[in-house]
Structure 1
Amino acid sequence: MTSTTDRLKLGLAVLVIIGGIVGFSVLSAEPMVLRIGVFVGSLVLAALIAWFSEPGRRTLSFAQESYHEVKRVSWPTRKETVQMTGIVFAFVAVMGLFLWLLDKGIEWLLYGVLLGWK
């Protein structure tokens, strides 16, 4: 459950992001580096504000757990990846040929045999 304080923090974070977007637009005559700096700065400030809320801490915890889970994944080797990609391409080619033959067979059956068209 999110407390009122946490909702206010998240609302403030959203307002800071909106302020960064408005600042980017208002500073259209300024150099692009400054405009991007204002926007990125607003994102960083909003992230800091959100981090001090309970949902922000939960999100950060989830991100850390996800990162550690990805590190534990057993990724395939390059050789295995190339082999599996080749198998998929071969399967797609065979299925494409099969479906084309099936389509032509049905076409021949309908138009050639049943309707008598040539």
Structure 2
Amino acid sequence: MANPSVETVNTSSDKLMLAAGVLLVVAGFVGFYWLGSQEWYVRGAALAVGVIAGVVVGLLSAPGKSFIAFAKDSYKEVRKVVWPTRKEATQTTLVVFGFVLAMAIILWVCDKSIEWVIFSAILGWK
């Protein structure tokens, strides 16, 4: 059974746009290294132009547009989250630290008990 949430790039224009976007990003990196003798801002501009152009071309394709819609929906959902107050976050953190401390003590007691049983009671070591 196919997963309906998986998106595939079917049209040749989308494939061409995504390939062009990747090539522009690669061209930006190639330009950055090819201009190795130039000033840092010239090299940085070549890299920035290539990466920005590649991302823009990629976002103009159908998968890019669906990614933008997904990002907008995700942002709307994050805004709906009710974040804990400072007091609630502090109390929850203290409960977690207390539980970790209690478990550490319990595990230490179990470890020492097993060590005593094996080394002292069974093997007779001191």
Match of 2:36 among 28, 32, 37: 28
Between the two proteins, what is the percent identity of the paired residues?
A: 38
Unaligned runs of 5+ in 1: none
Give how far 1:33 is off: 2.3
Q: Which residue of 2 aligns with 1:9?
A: 17
Match of 1:80 among 88, 93, 98: 88
Report the aligned-residue RMSD: 1.1
One-letter amino acid of the structure 1 residue matched with residue 73 of structure 2: E
Once residues 42 and 69 of structure 1 are traced to their aligned partners in structure 2, the CA distance between those partners, rounded to angstroms, is 32
Listed as ranges, the matches of 1:1-118 within 5 Å are 1=8, 2-118=10-126
Which structure shows the bigger proportion of residues in helix conformation? 1
Aligned length: 118
- Using structure 1 for the length normalisation, give the TM-score: 0.94
Once residues 79 and 102 of structure 1 are traced to their aligned partners in structure 2, the CA distance between those partners, rounded to angstroms, is 35
Once residues 48 and 66 of structure 2 are traced to their aligned partners in structure 1, the CA distance between those partners, rounded to angstroms, is 23
One-letter amino acid of the structure 1 residue matched with residue 60 of structure 2: F
One-letter amino acid of the structure 2 residue matched with residue 27 of structure 1: L
- Spell out, residue by residue over 1:89-117, the C-alpha distance to the aligned partner (whole angstroms, 9 max, x if none): 11111111110110000000011001111
Unaligned runs of 5+ in 2: 1-7
- Using structure 2 for the length normalisation, give the TM-score: 0.88
Once residues 76 and 68 of structure 2 are traced to their aligned partners in structure 1, the CA distance between those partners, rounded to angstroms, is 12
Question: Aligned with 1:106: secondary structure?
Answer: helix
